[in-house]
């Protein structure tokens, strides 16, 4: 017999063809043997040895195939050929490089030891993420690292330093207090968080000062006190400010927020602007300004005179109507904190229907016709002319009852009365009574089909297409 062998890859793609009586040592790292080759046993046995030892050598195989293993005897590491490079079989491309490797897995997981920064990094599939350590003291990097600082007596203290750039220590965490000559932290590092007073990137935050200024964060303890020369901050959070008088001038006006209970004889300011005053027990005194800011979230307004305005934009007026100067999103109360009773002569809403939240067995889009049943309280209607029909998932309800039962996904508002968009199939004439059409839809019902229990509502428009669409209808469900 004569002929040749056709050798294929595992995926079926042809690798090479070997003629009878010949061998092929150029296509792969093994010797491929043709039929009737004399002395084939040597090559066959050597092939087995190469596979057992994973081509162990200081040099890689010259004709590797994707997926082939090689034991790198110089570095004592097992590598795999990706098709373009030898990768460590754990996922790393190399034991260490100063720049990131290429030929990365799309699934992520490749490891790279960054020899420039002495950091181990892992490829996420989109970017390199540092595993650690976060930083080293001598490196031009951003991060945190543990170190030992000598006090003035030569005793070492273990701390954690926060660093921004070379030798720019921004803050130090210490478990104990000790004297130091370290620039920015001298003469004392306290137990806890210490900020650098001279070498911060763009501003100074200090736990060392006893005198405050508008740009200083201070720490008060049993060994020190604080004197505030001026109030000029974005936010002032106070537990209680009582029996106080704040007199503002053009140079020392209060600008910011007051949070807490404010009980003042007078709050007199010629320039009291851009603040939000919040409290729970009450505000006492006089606010003098020609242009009122927002006053929100307060408890009781007592003996408060408001000069220069009869309407507070988006807030509560004293002896004045509640009239916003523009459309605002303001809630009266919340799901956690609400008014007990409301006595209102008339309520006007821009939305049309009355709805109540019910637990649904699935997520349903607005306009879906639902009935009582399923694995929860409601499910989409499944039959035509169903007398179990219960309502329509509301699109934008004007009134929502049982509002704290859940979210729109788990407890959608069901319109039981009023104008509401409805998912409808088939032709509809304005005034037609609607019945269920199955699959969460409605349709026009004939007189012979109508009963006191299966009518969903009446169409307010004509629908001229037979395919599914949304129409407005007046809905009222009979019990």
Domain with residue 368: its CATH number is: 2.40.300.10
Contact predicate 440/388, CB 8 Å? no
On whether both 455 and 367 belong to a single domain, the answer is yes
Q: Is residue 219 part of a domain?
A: yes
Please answer whether residues 88 and 79 qualify as being in contact, where contact means their C-beta atoms are separated by less than 8 angstroms. Answer: yes
Q: Which of 204, 228, 252 is the last residue of a domain?
A: 228
Do the Cβ atoms of 424 and 470 come closer than 8 Å? yes
Distance between start and end Cα atoms, the chain: 91
Comparing CA positions, the residue from 234, 240, 198, 187 lying closest to residue 214 is 234
**How far apart are the C-alpha atoms of 406 and 269, rounded to whole Å?**
46
- Give the closest residue to 411 by CA, choosing from 335, 328, 333, 332: 335
Vertex 126 angle, CA 120 and 131, to 5°? 20
Q: Is residue 268 part of a domain?
A: yes
Q: What distance lies between CA 116 and its chain's CA centroid?
A: 33
User: Which of the two residues, 76 and 375, has the higher pLDDT score?
Assistant: 375
Same domain, 207 and 247: no
Q: What is the mean pLDDT of residues 118-134?
A: 79
Closest alpha carbon to 437 in 474, 475, 468: 468
Predicted confidence (pLDDT) at residue 247 exceeds the cutoff of 70? no
Distance in angstroms (rounded) separating the CA atoms of residues 416 and 476:
6
Residues pairing with 458 in the sheet: 433, 474
Q: How far apart are CA 400 and CA 413, in angstroms?
A: 7
Residue 177 lies in a domain: yes
How many percent of the chain have pLDDT more than 90? 32
Give CA–CA dist 454/436, Å, rounded: 7
Instruction: Tell whether 443 is covered by a domain.
Output: yes
Predicted local distance difference test score (pLDDT) of residue 165: 64
With a cut of 50, say whether residue 212 has pLDDT above it: no
188 and 268 housed in the same domain: no
- Predicted confidence band at 416 (pLDDT cuts at 50, 70, 90)? confident
* Whether the predicted pLDDT of 446 surpasses 90: yes
Task: Establish if 397 belongs to a structural domain.
Answer: yes
Which of residues 228, 251, 269 is at a domain's end? 228
Length of the chain: 479
Looking at the predicted structure, is the pLDDT value of residue 104 above 80? no
Q: What is the pLDDT of residue 297?
A: 47
For residues 223 and 275, membership in a common domain is answered with no
The number of beta carbons lying within 10 Å of the beta carbon of residue 303 is: 9
Residue 174 lies in a domain: yes
Average pLDDT over residues 184-196: 88
**Dihedrals φ, ψ of 416, to 5°?**
-110, -10
Which residue has tokens 């020190």?
Answer: 224
Q: Are 250 and 271 in contact (CB under 8 A)?
A: yes
pLDDT band of residue 269 (cuts 50, 70, 90) is very low
* HEC letters along the chain: CCCEEEEECCCCCEEEEEECCCEECCCCCCCEECCCCCCHHHHHHHHHHHHHCCCCECCCCCCCCCCCEEEECCCCEEEEECCCCEEECCCCCCCCECCCCCCCCCCCCCEEEECCCCEEEEECCCCEEEEECCCCCCCCCEEEEEEEEECCCCCEEEEEEEEECCCCEEEEEECCCEECCCCCCCCEECCEEEECCCCCCCCCCCCCCCEECCCCCCCCCCCCCCEECCCCCCCEEEEEEEEEEEEECCCCCCEEEEEEEEEEEEEEECCCEEEEEECCCCEEEEEECCCCCCCCCCCCEEEEEEECCCCCCCCCCCCCCCCCCCCCCCCCCCCCCCCCCCCCCCCCCCCCCEEEECCECCCCCCCCEEEECCCCCEEECCCECCCCEEEEECCCCCEEECHHHCCCCCCCEEEEEEEEEEEECCCECCCCEEEEEECCEEEECCCCCCCCCCCCEEECCCECCCCCEEEEEEEECCC
Q: Which two structure tokens, joined as six digits, stand for 289?
A: 């300004």
Query: Are 207 and 259 in the same domain?
Result: no
Whether residue 401 is found in the same domain as residue 463: yes
pLDDT bin (cut points 50, 70, 90) of residue 366 is very high
**88-92, 166-170, 308-312 — which is least confidently predicted?**
308-312
Residue-number span of the structural domain to which 29 is assigned: 4-52
Give the chain's domain count: 4
Read off the pLDDT of residues 141-186 as tens digits, 9 standing for 90 and up. 567 777 778 899 989 888 888 877 666 788 889 989 999 998 888 8
Confidence of residue 288 (pLDDT cuts 50, 70, 90): very low
Q: Please tell me which residue, 184 or 91, carries the higher pLDDT value.
A: 184
Question: In this predicted structure, what is the pLDDT of residue 413?
Answer: 95
Q: Quick one: 360 and 425 in the same domain?
A: yes
For range 333-355, the mean pLDDT = 80
pLDDT band at 445 (very low <50, low <70, confident <90, very high): very high
Residue 38 has pLDDT above 60, yes or no: yes
pLDDT of residue 411: 95
**Closest C-alpha to 112, from 100, 102, 124, 104:** 100
- Do 431 and 385 share a structural domain? yes
Same domain, yes or no: 444 and 363: yes
**Which band of pLDDT confidence, cut at 50, 70 and 90, is reported for residue 428?**
very high
Distance CA 2, CA 19 (A): 8
> Is the pLDDT higher at 429 or at 98?
429
The answer to whether 369 and 441 have CB atoms below 8 angstroms apart is: yes
Highest mean pLDDT among 49-58, 211-220, 244-253: 49-58
Is residue 9 located within the same domain as residue 35? yes
User: What count of Cα atoms within 13 Å lies in the side-chain half-sphere of residue 224?
Assistant: 13
Comparison of pLDDT for 331 and 237, the residue scoring more: 331
Of the listed ranges 15-19, 90-94, 131-135, 159-163, the one predicted with least confidence: 90-94
Tell me, yes or no, whether 263 and 282 share the same domain: yes
Measured from the Cβ of residue 372, the count of other Cβ atoms closer than 10 Å reads 14
Q: How far apart are CA 398 and CA 416, in angstroms?
A: 12
* pLDDT exceeds 70 at position 394: yes
206 in Cβ contact with 215 (< 8 Å)? no
More confident residue, 260 or 465: 465
Spatial contact of 68 and 105, defined as CB atoms under 8 Å apart: no
Cα–Cα nearest to 257, from 241, 245, 281, 244: 241
Residues 261-283 have a mean pLDDT of 43
Write down the mean pLDDT value for the chain.
75
As a whole-number percent, the residues of the chain with pLDDT over 70 amount to 66
Same domain, 300 and 252: yes
pLDDT at residue 170, as a whole number: 81
Most confident of 66-70, 100-104, 423-427: 423-427
Give the model's pLDDT for residue 140.
53
Q: Which residue has the higher pLDDT, 72 or 423?
A: 423
Model confidence at 437: pLDDT above 70: yes
In a domain, 375, yes or no: yes
Q: Is residue 343 part of a domain?
A: no
Ranked by mean pLDDT, the top range of 57-61, 105-109, 233-237, 304-308 is 57-61
- Contact indicator for 212, 218 with CB cutoff of 8 Å: yes
Query: What average pLDDT does this structure show over 66-83?
Result: 87
The arrangement of strands across the sheet holding 192-195 comes to 142-150, 156-164, 169-174, 192-195
């Amino acid at each position: 017999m004569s002929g040749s062998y056709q050798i294929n890859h595992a995926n079926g793609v042809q690798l090479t063809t070997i003629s009878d009586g010949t061998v092929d040592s150029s296509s792969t790292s093994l010797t491929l043997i043709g039929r009737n080759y004399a002395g084939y046993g040597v090559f066959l046995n050597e092939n087995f040895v190469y596979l057992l030892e994973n081509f162990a050598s200081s040099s890689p195989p010259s004709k590797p195939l994707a997926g082939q293993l090689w034991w790198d005897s110089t570095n004592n590491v097992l590598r795999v050929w990706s098709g373009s490079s030898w990768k460590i079989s754990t996922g790393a491309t190399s034991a260490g490089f100063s720049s990131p490797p290429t030929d990365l897995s799309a699934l992520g997981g490749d490891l790279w030891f960054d020899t420039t920064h002495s950091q181990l990094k892992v490829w996420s599939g989109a970017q390199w993420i540092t595993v650690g350590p976060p930083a080293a003291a001598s490196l031009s990097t951003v991060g945190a690292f543990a170190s030992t600082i000598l006090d003035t007596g030569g005793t070492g203290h273990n701390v954690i330093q926060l660093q921004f750039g070379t030798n720019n220590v921004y803050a130090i965490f210490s478990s104990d207090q000790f004297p130091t000559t370290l620039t920015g932290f001298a003469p004392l590092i306290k137990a806890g968080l210490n900020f650098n007073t001279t070498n911060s990137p763009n501003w100074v935050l200090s736990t060392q000062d006893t005198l405050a200024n508008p740009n200083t964060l201070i720490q008060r303890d049993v060994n020190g006190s604080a004197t505030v020369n001026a109030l000029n901050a974005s936010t002032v959070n106070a537990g209680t400010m009582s029996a106080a008088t704040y007199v503002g001038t053009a140079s020392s006006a209060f600008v910011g927020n007051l949070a807490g209970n404010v009980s003042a004889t007078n709050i007199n300011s010629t320039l009291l602007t851009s603040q939000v005053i919040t409290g729970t027990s009450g505000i006492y005194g006089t606010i003098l300004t020609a242009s009122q800011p927002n006053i929100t979230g307060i408890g009781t307004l007592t003996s408060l005179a408001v000069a220069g305005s009869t309407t507070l934009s988006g807030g509560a007026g004293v002896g004045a109507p509640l009239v916003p100067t523009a459309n605002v999103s303001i809630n009266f109360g919340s799901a956690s904190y609400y008014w007990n009773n409301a006595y209102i002569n008339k309520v006007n809403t821009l939305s049309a229907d009355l709805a109540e939240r019910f637990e649904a067995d699935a997520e349903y889009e607005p306009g879906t016709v639902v009935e009582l049943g399923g694995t929860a309280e409601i499910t989409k209607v499944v039959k035509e002319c169903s007398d179990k029909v219960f309502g329509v998932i509301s699109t934008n309800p004007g009134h929502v009852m049982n509002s704290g039962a859940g979210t729109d996904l788990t407890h959608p508002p069901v319109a039981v009365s009023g104008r509401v968009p409805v998912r409808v199939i088939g032709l509809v004439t304005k005034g037609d009574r609607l019945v269920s059409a199955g699959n969460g839809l409605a349709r026009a019902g004939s007189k012979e089909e109508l009963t006191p229990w299966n009518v969903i509502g009446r169409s307010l428009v004509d629908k001229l297409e037979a395919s599914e669409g949304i129409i407005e209808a007046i809905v009222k469900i009979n019990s």
